[in-house]
């Protein structure tokens, strides 16, 4: 089964979407990427790994951190939801996943449930 990576970051109204994706889906592993400010505000019932990023760091450092974290952890296609978070964080994740050889499937909550978009 596929792993899931989601962002929980800034963006009014985005957390409900992301939490529904997490709760309504079946994945092998769930990774939640967030910032220090939000890390203790997250309540997720499903087992997950939390990755705390400092979005103030340069893009190259974020890529390096994520690449190091996901190296030897993710394989094949990874389901990714980027409904929350910043473009800089999203770019860092996509770059890191591609550099470790993972494929990316973008998923979102739709009127028909959680679907690949």
The pLDDT tens digits along the chain (117 residues) read 699 999 988 767 788 899 999 987 789 999 999 988 877 777 788 888 999 999 999 999 999 999 999 999 998 999 999 999 999 999 999 999 999 999 999 999 999 989 999
Which domains does the chain carry?
Answer: 3-116 (3.40.50)
CA distances from 29 to 26, 32, 73, 85 (A): 9, 10, 10, 20
pLDDT at 40: 77
pTM of the predicted model as reported, rounded to 2 decimal places: 0.91
pLDDT at 64: 98
Ranges assigned E (strand) in 1-117: 3-8, 30-35, 49-53, 77-81, 103-110, 113-116
Contact residues for 101 (Cβ-Cβ < 8 A; gap 6+): 75
């Amino acid at each position: 089964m596929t792993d899931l990576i989601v962002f929980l970051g800034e963006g009014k109204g985005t957390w409900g979407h992301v939490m529904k994706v997490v709760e309504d889906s079946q994945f092998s592993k769930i990774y939640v990427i967030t910032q220090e400010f939000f890390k203790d505000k997250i309540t997720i019932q499903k087992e997950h790994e939390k990755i705390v990023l400092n979005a103030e760091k340069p893009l190259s450092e974020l890529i390096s951190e994520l690449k190091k974290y996901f190296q030897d952890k993710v394989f094949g296609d990874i389901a990714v939801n980027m409904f929350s978070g910043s473009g800089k964080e999203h770019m860092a994740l996509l770059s890191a996943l591609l550099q470790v050889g993972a494929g990316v499937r973008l998923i979102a909550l739709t009127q028909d449930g959680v679907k690949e978009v």
